[in-house]
Amino acid sequence: MAEHAMYFADDSALRKYKIKRVVINVLLYTFLTIFALFMLLPFILMLVGSMTNADSFSTFESTANFAELGFKNWTFSNFEQIFSGKITNQLTGQTENTTSFAQFYLNTIISAVGSTAVTVVTAVLAAFAFARLEFKGKNILFASLLATMMIPGELMVITNYQTTIAIGWRNTFAALIFVHGVSVFYVFYLRQTFQQIPNELYLAAKVDGVGDVGYLWKVMIPIAMPTITTIIILSLMGAWNSYVWPMLVTSDKYKYNQDYDMRLVSTGLMELFNQQAGGYSAIKIAGSMVVTFPLFVVFIIFRKYIMRGVSRSGIKG
């Protein structure tokens, strides 16, 4: 507040201003704290519920006795059940065999890494062509790519689903990796970064006898690395959280590919909730926790990249 002192006629005006400032600050922080708690509420439930003994949590649900929650005697048994694939049914008391979440993790990691690799490679190459090279039809092609960004993905899903069945990709990683292997948005985003690289560098490289691809590899990619990192992280996050497409192409585990459960974390989680109608809530919450947690770790490590990338590129998750 000291820097504003010069604006005020006398001390009483300054004091008035200071009091007003304090009141405003209290209001601001109160509002923000209330909303922050609203934001954190699901996470608090996730944390407490998943660490509470499944029976205790059921008791809590029917009695609203908060002492039942696992503040004192917390347990990992819910996670054990999820990862061992042996879940106790609340109604029958029997142990039911399901797919372990470790399997879903593995599937999701494979498909996320695969699709991110394909996305990044195709986006870098295409953005290079659009930003740096001259060829006939460049503008028309780029405009038509941009136009497709307007079209809702649901329109393409219908045919893509049929294509996937027709070429035998149902329940394969290929369907999860290649069908959304190119993101027009990332091409567009990367092209903007590439265009900011001065032309003189390209010509200097040419003088030194470096070819187009050599220039891309040795100059453009290192310069655009922050953008590429952002694309990698956002693409991984998108693949981890995707639900609709994996649900369509991997849900038929009984008809196709019986030995191997191809489902991803989101679809597996939905199944956990869906099939276990009489199941323990604590186990379901633990499932949510298990699905959410890895991305939290990624977020904490790459917070700057993610927030900067999202605000600059304006990507809707």
Interface residues for another protein in 285-314 (CB under 8 A)?
285, 287-289, 291-292, 295-296, 298-299, 303, 306-307, 310-312, 314
The residue type at 89: N
Find the part of the chain contacting another protein (CB under 8 A) among 83-91, 99-107, 145-153, 224-232: 145-153
Q: Is the dihedral of CA 46, 49, 54, 59 positive or negative?
A: negative
Q: In whole angstroms, how far apart are CA 116 and each of 108, 178, 179, 185, 263?
A: 12, 10, 12, 14, 18
Nearest to 237 by CA among 101, 83, 115, 125: 115
What is the Cα–Cα distance from 104 to 121, expressed in whole angstroms? 26
Residue 203 or 225: the one with the smaller Cβ distance to another protein is: 203
Considering only 70-78, 96-104, 196-204, 218-226, which stretch makes contact with another protein by CB under 8 A? 196-204
153-171 burial by CB neighbour count: b if 16+ within 10 A, else e?
A: eeeeeeebbeebeeeebbb
Residues 79-98 that bind another protein (CB under 8 A): none
| Residue 111 lies near another protein (rule: CB under 8 A) | no
| Smallest separation, CB 87 to another protein (Å) | 15
Nearer residue to another protein within complex by CB, 103 or 233: 233
Catalogue the E-assigned strands of the chain.
Answer: 86-88, 95-97
Q: How far from 136 is each of 139, 148, 216, 257, CA to CA, in Å?
A: 8, 20, 20, 46
Of the residues 54, 120, 123, 190, which one makes contact with another protein according to CB under 8 A: 123
Q: Could you give the CA distance from residue 65 to residue 56 in angstroms, rounded to a whole number?
A: 10
If one asks whether residue 49 binds another protein (CB under 8 A), the answer comes out as: yes
Among 26, 67, 102, 121, binds another protein (CB under 8 A): 121
Q: Does 184 bind another protein (CB under 8 A)?
A: yes
The span from the CA of 143 to the CA of 78, in Å, is 51
Q: Is 61 in the site for another protein (CB under 8 A)?
A: yes
- SS3 (DSSP) at 228: helix
For another protein, the binding residue among 23, 26, 41, 102 (CB under 8 A) is 41
Do residues 225 and 249 make contact, with C-beta atoms less than 8 angstroms apart? no
What's the closest the beta carbon of residue 193 comes to another protein, in angstroms? 16
Of the candidate residues 182, 197, 221, 223, the single one contacting another protein (CB under 8 A): 182
Stretch that binds another protein, among 79-87, 96-104, 188-196, 279-287 (CB under 8 A): 279-287
For tokens 């069945």, the residue is 165
114 neighbors 173 (Cβ within 8 angstroms): yes
188 touches another protein by CB under 8 A:
no
Q: Which stretch binds another protein (CB under 8 A): 76-84, 86-94, 98-106, 205-213?
A: 205-213
Decide if residue 36 touches another protein (CB under 8 A).
yes
CB atoms within 10 A of CB 16: 11
Q: Is 165 in the site for another protein (CB under 8 A)?
A: yes
Closest distance between another protein and the C-beta of residue 237, in Å? 6
Say whether 88 sits in a helix, a strand or coil: strand
What single-letter amino acid sits at 135?
F
User: 110 or 248, CB closer to another protein?
Assistant: 248
Task: Show contacts with another protein in window 228-267 (CB under 8 A).
Answer: 237, 240-241, 243-244, 247-248, 251-252, 265-266
